[in-house]
């Protein structure tokens, strides 16, 4: 696998959807799949993921519940919610609780999903760059404070 591929974690309780997603996107992206939220959390603990795409309607843990847990431990990946139902409450919860990047209806359109993945990855890179710049700024600030203290003491 190429190291510069976007890594996507696709979570869905329907195996056919997992196979379909992987078959569609495996050449362009590094695709990881999970059949449950619990399995997906284990994958996130072991691998760096850039974009998470999850179905809303899953047994044991809804997509929103899963994204809330993701946000607690793995806030960096961009989050996309898919649902086959016109459930506005789920969308509102996903935005408010799961801090999703985007919402798409199932069945997904390959071109629309591909564009959404790329936009999500661009946002991921922007956030990473901002975090890096902030860390450098803190380091520079610490150095300036140290130099100022040294000058005041001498």
Continuous segment of H or E residues that includes residue 93: helix 88-96
What is the layout of strands, in order, in the sheet containing 7-11? Answer: 30-34, 7-11, 51-55, 78-83, 102-105
- What pLDDT shows up at residue 1? 40
pLDDT in tens, 4-51: 799 999 999 999 999 999 999 999 999 999 999 999 999 999 999 999
Summarised one tens digit per residue, pLDDT across range 104-153 is 888 889 999 999 999 999 999 999 999 899 899 899 888 988 888 888 88
pLDDT tens digits, residue range 93-104? 767 676 888 888
Predicted pLDDT of residue 101: 87
For residue 63, pLDDT over 80 is answered with: yes
């Amino acid at each position: 696998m190429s190291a510069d591929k976007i890594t996507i974690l696709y979570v869905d309780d329907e195996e056919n959807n997992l196979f379909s997603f992987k078959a569609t996107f495996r050449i362009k992206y590094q695709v990881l799949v999970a059949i449950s939220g619990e399995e997906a959390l284990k994958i996130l603990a072991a691998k760096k993921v850039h974009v998470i795409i999850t179905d809303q309607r899953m047994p044991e843990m809804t997509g929103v519940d899963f994204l809330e847990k993701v946000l607690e431990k793995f806030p960096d990946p961009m989050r996309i919610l898919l649902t086959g139902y016109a459930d506005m409450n789920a969308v509102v919860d996903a935005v408010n609780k799961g801090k999703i990047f985007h919402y798409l209806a199932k069945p997904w359109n390959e071109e629309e999903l591909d564009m959404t993945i790329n936009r999500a990855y661009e946002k991921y890179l922007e956030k990473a760059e901002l975090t890096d710049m902030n860390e450098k700024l803190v380091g520079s600030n610490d150095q300036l404070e140290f130099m100022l203290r040294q000058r005041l003491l001498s």
